[in-house]
Chains A and B, each alone.
Chain A
Amino acid sequence: MKTDTVNTETLKAVYKHPESLKRVKMHYCPGCGHGIIHKLLAQCIDELGIREETIIVAPVGCSVLIYNYYNCDGTESAHGRAQAVSTGLKRALPDRTIICYQGDGDLAAIGTAESLHAANRGENFTVIFVNNAIYGMTGGQMAPTTLIGQRTKTSPYGRDEGNSGMPLRWCELLTEMEGPAYIERTSVHDVKHVMRTKKAIKKGIEYQQKGFGYSFVEILSMCPTNWGMTSLQAAEWVKESMEPYYPLGVLRDRGNGGDK
């Protein structure tokens, strides 16, 4: 096919691939939110100019391979222990930026103790908590954030409050503690919320740079594969089913004179 020559001098770049993000194929399923969130994080790292001082801590879960996707130093942690790893790392390197990236099973089930205590100590790192209401990597089991009535491999009749309790609202739990400096819940189900999520991630990292303490961004995200939906249905489900139970917004902002 013949292609026309384009005069690039007259063109203005409106988008480019973030330098922090490797040009590799990701392993995520179609319609999954991780890819969007990875890109947002990479854009924030680029815009803050901190690629060479950032260390990314991976969880066990779908995002276990996150370190393969960034042009940054990265490590893994045992299932649930990402915030203990981040604690040791940040204490050893207080002037580096530590991003702790976790899913709902990792953070809110097996890692409950590590996650609550790191928050309570006000550890100066940023947690990106991806809540998709299910265990993705292991094939769709019930998560602590699975909604009442939601069918999963281990709640085939729908999550039952009497058997499994109510879904955990982690941001609200954190507000009981003095430690966190910033707590926000966002979503990536549409463009507007994707942009809002980017702002939240950036703010969280900036607060870490300023030494304000623990910053926490919970992101409602899609898992069409394990929800048994199309990508569009999944985005709709976040809005219609998850958002009412997990209200979006800033739950705490102790930065820039704010005391919420």
Chain B
Amino acid sequence: MSERILMRGNEALCEGAITAGCRYYFGYPITPQNEVPAYMAMRMPEVGGVFLQAESEIGSINMVWGASLAGKRAMTSSSSPGISLMQEGISYLAAGELPAVIVNMVRGGPGLGNIAPAQSDYFQAVKGGGHGDYRTIVLAPATVHELTHLMIDAFDLADIYRMPVVVLGDGALGQMTEALTLPKPSNRKIAEKDYILDGCKGRKPRTIKSLRLSPQGALEELNLKLKAKYDEIMEKEPRYETYEIDDAEIVIVSFGMASRIARVSVMRAREKGIKVGLVRPITLWPFPEGLIAELASKDRVRSFIDVEMNLGQMVEDVRLAVNGKKEVFFYGRTAGVLPDEDELLQKIVEVDG
């Protein structure tokens, strides 16, 4: 087992990306993810890569499109307002079927909001954000260790499915220094990229684009192809972690930083004899709806509590998965305020009746 070290989330994720083979980073400063471009500016020249501070997040995401066209592993990072600016580019990446990794260290919103940790970009990340019929894989790490290791998965999944992958953290995860072991390079088999643009030497010219005006139905054909890909991802890729779920009568669903607080409340509720457990989705899309649906149909499970650092966004997906079989409650704090373990414990006690 490799050595345990201490690193800040924003810097550790860069090491994960470099191990994944990312050699192209394009970014623009915004708090609370400034350590990412600073670290990449230092490290990319050391590993023979390219670091470029773009003129804006719009520039960043379109530079990622450019490097990805050439088949290179490329990424950008930002925080909420900057990610809003990238949404058009993410939509293009989805339509052009180009791999890319986008890290969002979410801050309080809407608007300029604040720079405190938040999960209020769940809708934006999971439901599309940009225009058109598309999806992005969304990975939601809860620790610096997991964040670093998920960077490997993010690049692999982006290449395997040829699509943008969002790593959704929050200001705390990026800023926090925690113990971790660095990941090893992945041994996943990634098919050779037979679609890239590098000049048409010895082959027919290729085009990578999203415009599909003709023939009639060309765009629908693309969208249905994307849908088939998304169906495969929903089948194969949902990931989650469970805690104390085997005899749970109340199921808490919570992701990322909020799930760490929820976990403490679960432990304290257990001390009071309340049978409560935790489901932590690691992929927010594909959402682990199968597991939630299965739990909802168990007789012993009485209710669900969704816990988030927002006013209730993932709760909509929990309700869809529960499908009216059990009651779904919500507890959350918004605007960069962390959920309180005492408040959550009180909520569990209330729900327990």
Point out residues on A near B: beta carbons under 8 Å: 51-55, 58, 64-65, 67-68, 70-78, 81, 84-93, 96-97, 113-114, 116-117
Can you pick out 10 interface pairs between chain A and chain B where the beta carbons lie within 8 Å of each other? A51-B200, A52-B199, A55-B69, A72-B200, A73-B207, A74-B207, A75-B65, A76-B208, A81-B89, A92-B69
The answer to whether A81 touches B62, judged by C-beta atoms less than 8 angstroms apart, is yes
The answer to whether A92 touches B24, judged by C-beta atoms less than 8 angstroms apart, is yes
The answer to whether B207 touches A88, judged by C-beta atoms less than 8 angstroms apart, is no
Contacts of B50 in A (CB 8 A): 91-92
Assuming A71-B205, A88-B66, is B55 touching A117 (CB within 8 A)? yes
Contacts of B202 in A (CB 8 A): 52
Contacts of A81 in B (CB 8 A): 58-59, 62, 65, 89
Task: Identify whether the interface residues of A are mostly helix, strand, loop, or mixed.
Answer: helix
B263 within 8 Å of A by Cβ?
A: no
The answer to whether A73 touches B200, judged by C-beta atoms less than 8 angstroms apart, is yes
Within 8 A of A (CB), among B13-31: 24, 26
Contacts of B197 in A (CB 8 A): 55, 73-75, 89
B206 within 8 Å of A by Cβ?
A: yes
The answer to whether B200 touches A52, judged by C-beta atoms less than 8 angstroms apart, is yes
Contacts of A73 in B (CB 8 A): 197-200, 205-207
The answer to whether B67 touches A89, judged by C-beta atoms less than 8 angstroms apart, is yes
B56 within 8 Å of A by Cβ?
A: yes
A54 to chain B, nearest CB (A): 6
In the complex, the chain B residue whose C-beta lies closest to that of A81 is B62
The answer to whether A87 touches B205, judged by C-beta atoms less than 8 angstroms apart, is no
A123 to chain B, nearest CB (A): 10
Contact with A along B207-238 (1 / 0, CB 8 A): 11111000000000000000000000000000
In the complex, the chain B residue whose C-beta lies closest to that of A120 is B55
Could you say which of B54, B89, B208 contacts A78, with CB atoms under 8 Å apart? B89
A160 to chain B, nearest CB (A): 30
Could you say which of B66, B201, B205, B211 contacts A85, with CB atoms under 8 Å apart? B66
Contacts of B67 in A (CB 8 A): 88-89, 91-92
Could you say which of A68, A78, A86, A92 contacts B72, with CB atoms under 8 Å apart? A92
Assuming A78-B62, A78-B88, is B74 touching A88 (CB within 8 A)? yes
B63 within 8 Å of A by Cβ?
A: yes
Assuming A73-B206, A78-B92, A114-B55, is B62 touching A88 (CB within 8 A)? yes
The answer to whether B64 touches A67, judged by C-beta atoms less than 8 angstroms apart, is no
Give the A-B contact count at a CB cut-off of 8 A. Answer: 129
Contact with A along B276-307 (1 / 0, CB 8 A): 00000000000000000000000000000000
Could you say which of A51, A67, A85 contacts B207, with CB atoms under 8 Å apart? A67
Within 8 A of A (CB), among B161-215: 197-202, 205-211
A92 to B24: give the CA distance in the assembly, Å.
Answer: 8
In the complex, the chain A residue whose C-beta lies closest to that of B198 is A93
Could you say which of A55, A88, A113 contacts B64, with CB atoms under 8 Å apart? A88
In the complex, the chain A residue whose C-beta lies closest to that of B203 is A52
A76 to B89: give the CA distance in the assembly, Å.
Answer: 12
A55 to B74: give the CA distance in the assembly, Å.
Answer: 19
Contacts of B56 in A (CB 8 A): 113
Contacts of A52 in B (CB 8 A): 199-202
A82 to chain B, nearest CB (A): 8
Contacts of B60 in A (CB 8 A): 84
Contacts of B206 in A (CB 8 A): 73-74
Could you say which of B70, B92, B209 contacts A92, with CB atoms under 8 Å apart? B70
Contacts of A114 in B (CB 8 A): 55, 58-59, 62
Contacts of A68 in B (CB 8 A): 207
Contacts of B199 in A (CB 8 A): 52-55, 72-73, 93, 96-97
A64 to B211: give the CA distance in the assembly, Å.
Answer: 9
Contacts of B26 in A (CB 8 A): 88
Q: Please provide the 8 A-B residue pairs with the shortest distance between their CB atoms, ordered closest to farther.
A: A88-B66, A88-B63, A84-B62, A92-B70, A89-B66, A81-B62, A117-B55, A53-B199
B52 within 8 Å of A by Cβ?
A: yes
The answer to whether A87 touches B198, judged by C-beta atoms less than 8 angstroms apart, is no
The answer to whether A96 touches B66, judged by C-beta atoms less than 8 angstroms apart, is no
A64 to B62: give the CA distance in the assembly, Å.
Answer: 16
B102 to chain A, nearest CB (A): 14
Residue among B202, B209, B210 facing the most chain A CB atoms (10 A cut-off) = B209
The answer to whether A89 touches B210, judged by C-beta atoms less than 8 angstroms apart, is no
Contacts of A67 in B (CB 8 A): 207, 209
Assuming A71-B205, A78-B88, A113-B59, is B198 touching A88 (CB within 8 A)? no
Contacts of B64 in A (CB 8 A): 88
In the complex, the chain A residue whose C-beta lies closest to that of B202 is A52
Contacts of B74 in A (CB 8 A): 88, 92
Assuming A64-B211, A87-B52, A113-B56, is B63 touching A71 (CB within 8 A)? no
Could you say which of B66, B205, B209, B211 contacts A91, with CB atoms under 8 Å apart? B66
Contacts of B211 in A (CB 8 A): 64-65, 76
The answer to whether A91 touches B24, judged by C-beta atoms less than 8 angstroms apart, is yes
In the complex, the chain A residue whose C-beta lies closest to that of B95 is A76
Additional 5 contacts, C-beta under 8 A, given A53-B199, A76-B96, A117-B59: A74-B205, A74-B207, A85-B69, A92-B74, A93-B199
The answer to whether A113 touches B55, judged by C-beta atoms less than 8 angstroms apart, is yes
Contacts of A74 in B (CB 8 A): 197, 205-209
Within 8 A of A (CB), among B27-85: 50, 52, 54-56, 58-60, 62-70, 72, 74
B4 to chain A, nearest CB (A): 35
Could you say which of A85, A93, A116 contacts B62, with CB atoms under 8 Å apart? A85
The answer to whether A70 touches B24, judged by C-beta atoms less than 8 angstroms apart, is no
